[in-house]
Amino acid sequence: MLGLTVALLVLVSGGFFYRSFRQHEAAGSLVVRFACGIDDGRFVRISGREQWIQISGENHRNPVLLILHGGLGAS
């Protein structure tokens, strides 16, 4: 019984480590690495509610494309 518990603990710990590793890799690939790039995120108040806004791009002179969530099922 102890061996099964240890094996399960090692398996779960390994899964959490792998997930953390993949998240770190994904975050590194999304970093803007251009001299004139923009990468900004903050909470703003819209209609009385705090909403997260993030702007990211290779050139800060390009126009912003604003996507508003339309409801359930839209990502």
List of E strands, 6-70? 38-46, 49-57
pLDDT, the chain, mean: 84
Tens of pLDDT, residues 36-53: 888 888 999 988 999 888
Whole-number Å distance between alpha carbons of 54 and 42: 7
65: closest CA among 53, 52, 47? 53
What phi-psi label fits residue 17: left (phi over 0), alpha (psi between -120 and 50 degrees) or beta? alpha
Q: Is the pLDDT score of 14 beyond 90?
A: yes
Residue 75 is predicted with a pLDDT of 59
Q: Is the pLDDT score of 2 beyond 90?
A: no
Residue range 19-27: mean pLDDT, rounded: 84
For 41, the token pair is: 């995120």
